[in-house]
Amino acid sequence: MYKFGVTLIITLTNLLICSSSWAQTSERISYQAVIRNNNDALVTNTQVGMQISILQGSASGMVVYSETQTAITNTNGLVSIEVGGGVEFRTIDWGNDIYFIKTEIDPKGKANYTITGTSQLLSVPYALYAKTAENISGGFTETDPIFSAWDKDYTDLTNTPTTITIDQADAIAANTEKVGITVQQAGDITANNAKVGITTQQASDIAANNAKVGVTTNQADAIAANTEKVGITVQQASDITANNAKVSITTQQASDITANNAKVGITTVQTNAIAANTAKISYPAADKIKLNGIEVGAQANVKADWNATAGDALILNKPTIPAAADGSETKVTAGNNVSVTGTGTTGNPYVINSTDGVMPFAEFYALMPGDNTATVAVGAAIEFPQNGPSSGITRLSTTGFILPDIGTYMVSWQVSIDEAGQLALALDGTEITRTTVGRAALTSQITGNSLITTTSVNSTLSVVNPLGNSTALTITQNAGGANPVSASLVIMRVQ
C-alpha cells in the first residue's frame, strides 16, 4: 500500500512574444508529485507508472485528453513530467469551460493505478489560450499621435504652482534678505544697530545705561549704589550689611539668634528650657521626676506582679484563668457500653467504665446448602447472612459488619470452598494484605485469625476474595457428610 503527497507546479514552457514576430507556443504543462509509502517514507529513485487526464466542467467531468507515462523519482521522492504531448491536447478550448487535471499512479511502475488525485487547473494553464493571438488576420490601424516638434508653452499647462510677481521679487531683493519685512522696517533695523525689537530711543537709553539691560538710568544708579545687592533697595542693602550676613532676617531677629547661641529657629525661652532639660528630649515632667530618681549608671528593673492592679508592676492583657477546674477544659465522650464519670479535677477525676462489664463482640455465619449459592468473584466479599450471639457489634449488610469504636479487635473466620484459593480481611473497602490466608489442596477449610485496629468509628469489616487472584470461589454446599456446613465470622474487641 502506498500513499503520496502531491505538489502541483503547472506552468507553460517556452512562451515567447517578440515585438516584430510571433513564436509558436509550446502547448505543454509541467507536473510534479512527491511519492510516499504507507509508512510516510519517501519512495526514492524508483520508476512509477502514471496516467494523466484532463476533465472538462468538474472533477468528475468528461475526459477531453489522456496520456500515460513512466517516470523515475529522485532522491527526494519527487517525480517531474510534462503533460500535453498528444495531438488532442492542442484542440482543447481552454476559454470555453473550467478544466481539472486527474492523476493516477502505480508506484510499482506498471499500469495498475492505485493512487488517484484530481485538482482544478487555475490561471497558469490558461496562458495556452493566448495562442489565439496567432490567428489574428488583417493589419492594425495605428491611432497614436506622431510628434515631430515641441509646440507647447508653460501657460498651456494646468495645475501649475502659485508664483510671485516680478514686483514682489524686486521688493525681496531690495530688502537684502530681511525676509518677511518691508524696506522701511529693514531701514529701521539698520538704524537701530542690531537692537532688535526696540526703538531708537530705547536703544539710546540702553547705551546710557551701560549694559544694565532692561532697567532705566535711575534703576542702574540704584543698582550701582547697592553694590551688587541685586533686587533690593539701598536701605535693604544697609540692613543686610548691618545684619552681618544674617540673610533674610531683621536686625532684631539677628540679635535673638546671637543671644540664642546658634539654637536656630527657637526663642531664648525655648533654649533655656532645653538647657534645663539636659538632653531629655520630648518627655513630660512626670517622666522626668521618675528619671531623676534613678542613680547615674543604674538600670531600672521593675518586677511584675501577677496580682498587681495598678502601678509599674501591673501586667497588661493577662489571660483569664478560672479559680478551679470545672470540667470544661477536657471533653470526654462515652462510646457504646461505656460510661464516663467525674469532672476532671484532682478531687474528682474522670473515670471510664464499661456498662455491662464486657467488650463488644459478635458472631455472624452462613449455612450451606442454602446460603452462598453464587460463586464469589475476585474482589467480592463472602456472605454471612445469619446472626449469632452479639453485643455492640452489628451488621451493615450480609457481607459488611460495623466496628463501632476506635480500638483493636480479634477477628476469626473459616469458610469451606471447592477450589484452591485465598481469603483476606478488608476494612472500609481496603484489603489488609497481612491477613491473607489460603490453601493449595482441596481437603481443608480456609481459616484465619488476625488482630486489626480501627482509626475511625463505625468502620466496616468484610472477608473477601483478594484482588489479583484469577479464580472465583465456590462455597462448598455439603462437605464431608449430609449435615449443613457453616461458614463463620467471629469479632471481639480486645482493647
Bridge partners of 363, per DSSP, are: 490
Using CA atoms, how far residue 148 sits from 142, 151, 494, in Å, is 16, 9, 131
Tell me the residue ranges of DSSP E strands in 304-396: 338-341, 351-354, 361-368, 386-391, 394-395
Fold matches, 2-135 and 361-493: no
Write out the three cell numbers for 289.
Answer: 521626676
Write out the three cell numbers for 335.
Answer: 462510646
Write out the three cell numbers for 384.
Answer: 454471612
DSSP string, 11-80: -EES--B-SS-BPPPEEEEEEEEEEEETTS-B--S-EEEEEEEEEESSTT-EEEEEEEEEEE--TTSEEE
Residue 258, φ and ψ in degrees, nearest 5: -60, -45
Write out the three cell numbers for 363.
Answer: 458472631
At residue 344, the pLDDT reads 74
Residue type, 383: E
Give long-range contacts, CB 8 A cutoff, 24+ apart: 343-346.
Answer: none
Question: In this structure, is the dihedral angle defined by the CA atoms of residues 485, 489, 492 and 495, taken in order, positive or negative?
Answer: positive
CB half-sphere exposure, 349, CA atoms < 13 A: 4
Residue 172 DSSP SS3? helix
Distance of alpha carbon 84 from alpha carbon 16, whole angstroms: 18
Residue 173, φ and ψ in degrees, nearest 5: -65, -45
- The pLDDT profile of the chain, 495 residues, written as one tens digit per residue, is 454 444 444 433 333 222 223 334 557 888 888 888 778 888 899 999 999 999 999 999 999 999 999 999 999 999 999 998 888 898 898 888 999 999 999 988 999 998 888 999 885 455 666 655 555 555 666 677 776 777 777 778 888 887 788 888 777 677 655 566 677 776 766 665 555 666 777 767 656 655 556 667 777 676 566 555 566 777 776 765 665 555 566 777 767 656 655 556 677 777 777 677 655 566 677 777 776 766 665 555 567 888 888 888 888 888 877 666 555 556 666 666 667 777 777 778 877 766 656 789 999 999 888 888 889 999 999 999 999 999 999 999 999 999 999 999 999 999 988 888 999 999 999 999 999 999 887 767 899 999 999 999 999 999 999 999 988 998 887 777 778 788 999 999 998
Residue type, 465: N
Compute CA 167 distance to the chain's CA centroid, rounded to the nearest angstrom: 74
- Residues in contact with 109: Cβ distance below 8 Å, sequence separation at least 6, in sequence order: 46, 47, 48, 49, 70
Does 2.60.120.40 match the CATH number of domain 361-493? Answer: yes
Instruction: Using the structure block, give the residue that is written with the C-alpha cell 445469619.
Output: 386
Using CA atoms, how far residue 159 sits from 154, 155, 156, 162, in Å, is 11, 10, 10, 9
Using CA atoms, how far residue 262 sits from 56, 250, 268, in Å, is 111, 16, 11
At residue 476, the pLDDT reads 83
Does 1.10.10.10 match the CATH number of domain 2-135? Answer: no
Rg, Å, the chain Cα set: 60
Distance of alpha carbon 461 from alpha carbon 396, whole angstroms: 9
In the chain, what are the domain boundaries?
A: 2-135, 322-357, 361-493
Give the β-pairing of 78-83 and 26-37. Answer: antiparallel
- The 3-class secondary structure across 262-315, one letter per residue, is CCCCCCHHHHHHHHHHCCCCCCCHHHHHHHHCCCCCCCCCCCCECCCCCCCCEC
pTM, 2 dp = 0.33
Helix (H) / strand (E) containing 236: helix 234-242
DSSP string, 202-213: HHHHHHHTTT-T
Spatial contact of 106 and 113, defined as CB atoms under 8 Å apart = yes
Q: Nearest CA to 382 among 479, 447, 464, 468? A: 464
At residue 37, the pLDDT reads 79
Rounded to 5 degrees, what angle do the CA atoms 38, 44, 50 make?
80
Burial class (CB in 10 A: 0-12, 13-18, 19+), 290: exposed
Measured N-to-C along each axis, helices 234-242 and 217-226 cross at an angle, to the nearest 10 degrees, of 10
Question: In this structure, is the dihedral angle defined by the CA atoms of residues 319, 323, 327 and 330, taken in order, positive or negative?
Answer: positive
